[in-house]
Chains A and B, each alone.
Chain A
Amino acid sequence: MSSEHKHRNFCGRTRREFLWQAGAGFTGTALAALLGNDGFLNRQAVAADGATPWTNPLAPRAPQLPAKAKSVIFLYMYGGPSHIDTFDYKPTMKGMDNKTIEVKTFGRGGHKNQGRIVETRWDFAQHGQCGQWVSTLFPHLATCVDDIAFIHSMTADSPIHGSAMLMMNSGKILSGSPCLGSWVNYGLGTPNENLPGFVVMLDPRGGPISGAKNWSSGYMPATYQATVMRSGGTPILDLASPEGVTREMQREMLDTIRGFNEEHQQLRPDNSNLSARIASYELAYKMQAAAPDAVDLRQEDERTRSLYGVDEKQTEVFGRQCLLARRLVERGVRFVQLYSGGNHNDANWDAHGDLKENHDLHAGETDKPIAGLLKDLKQRGMLDETLVVWGGEFGRQPTAEYEKGTGRDHNAYGFTMWMAGGGIKGGTSYGKTDELGSAAVENRLEVKQLHATILHQLGFDPNRLSYFYNGLDQKLVGVEGAEPIREIIA
């Protein structure tokens, strides 16, 4: 690069780093994490030259700034839970059921200017020291409100599931960008290389709309994509050896592979990719022991299992997943995302039909497990460094979708999410929607500010965590950047 153009290189990369990124011979082992922090870069300048020893791209790294949280558990309420039936209390709507009013809404049914009010079907009461209003949908969670910061003024760029989910997970409504969990692993690596750094657990009724796009690493290498994990059976795809292959047999085979591979490498000592591949087989072998151990919930005592509702039919599935999430975080997994709800329609929070039936079902399945998770994390002293995030891709409208019934359409103009732990100020509420909950009116927030807050708690400057792709330093929070929500940070 000629000197007159050099100053344009505002991304502050060295020539070598740039070269690995910019089109030729991308290698995962050679990939430098591009954080705008020089000390960090120096530590990350690895092996593209073929001479430096291999470093696992997921090797743990120190964050840019002092971190509050080490891990994130994102409780994804797929389908869009109704904020005004859960945490965003609207007393003025009382007695207004079926009244037709003028209100601007935009959902899957398009833009509307008026609608028929559906009054909430649940009673609200104040809880905790902070007096947070919670509906009867969440009796257990209501006891945790002093640890939670509620964000009532979220907005999203799309009221359509597919694109709104991409937005919540990757910051863009267009498909093709890495997910939050990928960014976290790209930036921080994982302290336990025997387990994946980014884990997703799905609802047994099915995955969310767009499936794997929701946990893809987009334009980043596959190293940073999520591993789908199950709380029963074989936890990870291809983790278990085929029937009839014992661990000792596998060791025998691995030793043979190693023998061949080391002999092969002797003539090619400069190629660190070959040693990386040798090392990866050892990692796989260790993972085969570590992952089943992590999912072995029998190691938990009765009291803990019942705290999560593992012993009750309704809460068993999500309870197991929440408990597993804690066990993973305990073992150093950076980012765990759990899906409540799957498939389509009432198999998730997408209450277009019978609001009461839908939300009773999904809240009933998740309330106790989530409360159990928060309490368990707290009693173990883990809540301080585990950031728990709750919410869906949008909220729901105050009015009915159809002429009859209680179904609510999607609402991206305003909805509630909450965070707990990981340096978040418990017992707070931030932002407001209008009297109907139809739109955020006070301290309106975009998804990127939520993302910025999560990154910030993990020790990143959200505006400096970048990845060079397509001629641009890409950021999770977009080129214009975003600030964390400081009001909810302890």
Chain B
Amino acid sequence: MPSYLPRVLANLLLGTTAVLSWAAAARAEEPVATASPEPAAVADPAAFFDSEVKPLLAAHCLKCHGADGKAKGSLFLTNREGILKGGDSGAAVSLEAPAESLLLEAVNYSGYEMPPSGKLADEQIAVFTKWVEFGLPWGSDAELGEKPTDDHGPPAVDDKAKAFWSFQPVTHPQPPSLRDNAWIRTPIDAFVLAKLNETGLKPAPPASKTALIRRAYYDLIGLPPSPEEVAAFLTDDSPGAFERVVDTLLESPHYGERWGRHWLDLVRYAETNSYERDGAKPFVWRYRDYVIQSFNNDKPYNQFVTEQLAGDELDQPTPETIIATGYYRLGIWQDEPVDPEQELYEDLDDLVRTTGEVFLGLTIGCARCHDHKLDPLPQADYYRLLAFFRNVRRFGERSPESIEDASVRAIGNEEEVRRNEEQIAAHKQQTREVRQELRKLNEQIFAALVGVEKDDWKTDAMRVEIAKRHIGGALSQEEFDRYAELTAKRDELANFRPSGLDKALCVKEHGRECPPTHVLIRGNAHAAAAEVTPGFPSVLSPPEPNIVLPAEGVSSTGRRRALAQWITSPENPLTARVMVNRIWHYHFGRGIVRSTSDFGFQGIQPTHPELLDWLASEFVAGGWRMKRLHKLIMLSSAYQMSSEASEQALAADPINDHLWRFEMRRLSAEEIRDSILAANGSLNRGAMFGPSIFVTIPDEVLAGQSMPGAGWGKSSPAETARRTIYIHAKRSLAVPLIASFDGPETDASCPSRFVTTQPTQALGMLNSRFVNEQAEQFAQYLRTQGGDKPETQVAIALRRLFQREPTPGEISRGLQLLAALQSKHGLSPEAALKQFCVTAYNLNEFVYLD
């Protein structure tokens, strides 16, 4: 229940000219309905309850506090004990101090407001008052309504809960030794084959080389191989041919653009704040670049996590580690909160929730208002985790300056920072002095202004001219000279601010001391309960956090570093498991644990638990490096299987739990757009990093904005041909192609993309300006490369879309279309070729991988 609901209605302002008398006003003026100081005795308390109190309870209270065994705020009003025991907010009635009882406060709408549908009549309130003052007499039925049931309590944090598989330490299982080992290329295959053997399923045959190279390219860099790259691989029959492809791809700068995108989905990356203004986040793109570079540099995952959670609290923060803390600033931000205190906790909730799900695979956000209903995560654990973030400043307080203050920092070496700060301080001081002196002269001149001068004065640029007219009057020649000089100086100062250092969006804390953290009853910021200190989820039997204040001069508590330390500790049972599972998920289209962000009771059990642990332990032992893991996975037979189904396997295991084949997948929105550009040779691969770009969004879509076009710019053609990851991610305005092909929803962490199929996708791929422009470009490309021969044009097109040699049948199908468009529909060869390109962009094989 929001806290700002009205307490009292209209009161009269007395003692002024307006004296009004309304019933409402008079009623509100009355003191709250407390009974007379000496209540007369009630002859028959039980009868009083049954005839007067019970009907009121039944009509106005029990629906929410007791009916069907349900009780809001954990408060049962169905029996006397329940009332005295109270709910989340404490006893509903105090027999010692009846007048202070919460129940009376609530029905009087002073504090709580019950019933919420409207205040009771005075007579009804009087009944409650009398009842409480008489010591809460009860009637004939000890229990009103149904008895509360307690069957569905939340899971307890006990030994049984602690024994749950994902809360147990990671083991290092030996790969099964199997007799039939021709299929086994890596230990991964041993685990997979062992499980297949259990049910008598056979792994699918190896994928064709054309399928494999296409799979690997899209998987690692999100782009298709060129026809030359395909040809080179097909002709290379030496043993290490595929390994060399994988190595090359892992070294490609485009690897980070593909795998960084997965990470950006997870951390709800977007570049604006959502809500009414949906303002752009300053320098947020540096975080995107940081992620791409981190993947490209094969940064160890433990370091990657630490930098994002606590890059500012490290012993030696660098610009890179400061940028990494942009992690805290990626979420939605309400710049005009209705209830600022509650909003602070909405922001913190975003951090707790995202951190819990992304790094730990725990949906701890569900424990914000009450103990987690499905996992052994008590509400106190939520707030203990929140305590690590409690001192983090809000993103800002409405204005751009406040964001600059709370979330932006200059990045540079110490000397650069110091010099820059001095320059800024000097600039501020000078500006202040000039303005002060100007103000005095302004007042002096303004007093002498006549007629339209006063209007003109509002225009800054006219002031010197106006002042000139008053020389000898309001001001002397010297004063005028000074006035002109100061005005020029002021403009100069405004135009030449210290250029400043590069800046980064980053986390900042309030200082070295943290305000206390309390459990909040039902998540309500205004209902603080017990204080808690920072701590990790108790079901993991974790160590105490090792919180160390950072070096003198660093304005934070060190709490986040302690959190990062625990998350990245090799002993943490979840971190490595969750991450290797994500990597597996992105390679295979599904995780070993299919619920990639939920490793709790409600999550799905791993299909290959030993494999998961083996991968996790290998990951940690290998220095948390991801490229090594990619290679390990991609060189396995499991990865290189065909996606073809065998009827027997399909019948036995339709959802491929056993991994008897590789699964087909549709390209993501980014891959589709990038591939459209790659096919016609216009993709600008070289331009990486930097502020985001704006592609053309149709006017019809911009018309949905309250100020059509606001916050959306225009980039040059070279810029708009860059990869999709560089398109400005505006929360309230989606690029239609990206949105229709299931781009990520960015308001919360997105662990897995939807893959929908809908007619609007077809409309966009056939009729949109973007696709038609690209088709035109494609046609030109085909003419340049293939000359005027339609067979060659069609063959090149299909080769560039499918990354394989087209069959004669396919070529003739293309030729038939070209011929029909010309003969039946009167198109020129050029126009027909363009329409063929539109058609080709729409083929299933273009957007589906085997």
Contact = CB atoms under 8 A, between A and B. Distances in A.
A66 interface: no
A96 B18 CA distance: 9
A444 B594 contact: no
Interface string A460-476: 00000000001110000
A25 B664 CA distance: 11
Given A237-B736, A252-B824, A264-B844, A273 B650 contact: no
Contacts of B734: 212
Given A173-B338, A176-B745, A413-B6, A22 B595 contact: yes
Contacts of A213: 274, 731-732
A19 interface: yes
Given A23-B597, A159-B338, A280-B759, A218 B747 contact: yes
A161 B276 contact: yes
Interface string A414-451: 00000000000000000100111011111111100000
A278 B845 CA distance: 12
A18 B844 contact: no
A111 B4 CA distance: 9
B10 A206 contact: no
Contact of A253 (B338, B733, B817, B844): B817
Contacts of A25: 589-590, 594, 663, 752, 755
Contacts of A245: 835
B2 interface: yes
Contacts of B772: 242
A26 B753 contact: yes
Given A51-B650, A213-B732, A257-B839, A206 B757 contact: no
A260 B821 contact: no
Contacts of A298: none
B708 interface: yes
Residue of B707, B731, B756 ringed by the most chain A CB atoms within 10 A: B756
Interface in A272-313: 273-274, 276-278, 280-281, 283-284, 287-288
A327 interface: no
Interface string B744-771: 0101100111111111111110111100
A268 B732 contact: no
A157 interface: yes
B757 A29 contact: yes
Contacts of A234: 700
A443 B115 CA distance: 9
Interface string B807-832: 00110011011001100110100010
Interface in B106-143: 116-119
A441 B6 CA distance: 10
A14 to B, nearest CB: 12
B704 interface: yes
A222 B10 CA distance: 47
Nearest to B522: A480
A332 to B, nearest CB: 15
Nearest to A175: B274
Interface string A89-104: 0001000100111111
B22 A27 contact: no
Interface in B687-728: 698, 700-701, 703-708
Contacts of B739: 222, 225
A471 B374 contact: yes
B6 A264 contact: no
Given A162-B336, A253-B817, A287 B759 contact: yes
Given A24-B596, A208-B706, A274-B848, A260 B338 contact: no
Given A257-B843, A344-B707, A438-B9, A100 B16 contact: yes
A208 B278 CA distance: 13
Main secondary structure of the interface of A (DSSP, over half): loop
B602 interface: yes
A382 interface: no
Nearest to A227: B760
A37 interface: no
Contacts of B152: 10
B118 A206 contact: no
Contact of A270 (B596, B603, B645, B704): B645
B747 A222 contact: no
Given A27-B754, A212-B734, A434-B9, A50 B654 contact: yes
A444 B810 contact: no
Looking at chain A, what size class is its interface with the partner chain?
35 or more
B819 to A, nearest CB: 10
B558 interface: no
Interface string A233-277: 010111111101110111011001101110111011111011011
Interface stretch (A1-9, A118-126, A317-325, A360-368): A1-9
A217 to B, nearest CB: 8
Contacts of A446: 116
A254 to B, nearest CB: 8
Nearest to A102: B11
A225 B87 CA distance: 40
Interface residues of B, number: 128
A284 B759 CA distance: 5
B118 A28 contact: no
A431 B814 CA distance: 67
Nearest to A260: B843
A57 interface: yes
A268 B204 CA distance: 14
A362 to B, nearest CB: 16
Nearest to B605: A1
Contacts of B116: 444, 446
Contacts of A344: 706-707
B260 to A, nearest CB: 20
A169 interface: no
Contacts of B760: 196, 227, 236-238, 284
A25 B594 CA distance: 8
Nearest to A104: B6
Contacts of B589: 24-25
Contact of A210 (B366, B732, B767, B816): B732
Interface in B136-185: 152, 155, 160
B244 interface: no
Interface string B7-32: 11111110010101011100000000
B365 A22 contact: no
Given A5-B601, A212-B704, A259-B813, A174 B346 contact: yes
A50 B663 CA distance: 10
A158 B601 contact: no
Interface in B547-590: 585, 589-590
A55 to B, nearest CB: 11
Residue of A23, A153, A245, A276 ringed by the most chain B CB atoms within 10 A: A23
Interface string B836-850: 001100111100101
6 contacts: A23-B751, A24-B585, A25-B594, A28-B754, A241-B767, A284-B760
Given A28-B742, A114-B13, A176-B332, 19 more contacts: A1-B605, A9-B374, A16-B655, A23-B594, A23-B752, A50-B654, A102-B12, A102-B13, A103-B10, A104-B6, A104-B9, A210-B706, A218-B747, A223-B756, A237-B736, A239-B763, A264-B848, A342-B706, A444-B116
A-B pairs, 8 with minimum CB distance:
A28-B756, A162-B276, A176-B747, A471-B363, A49-B654, A24-B594, A284-B762, A22-B595
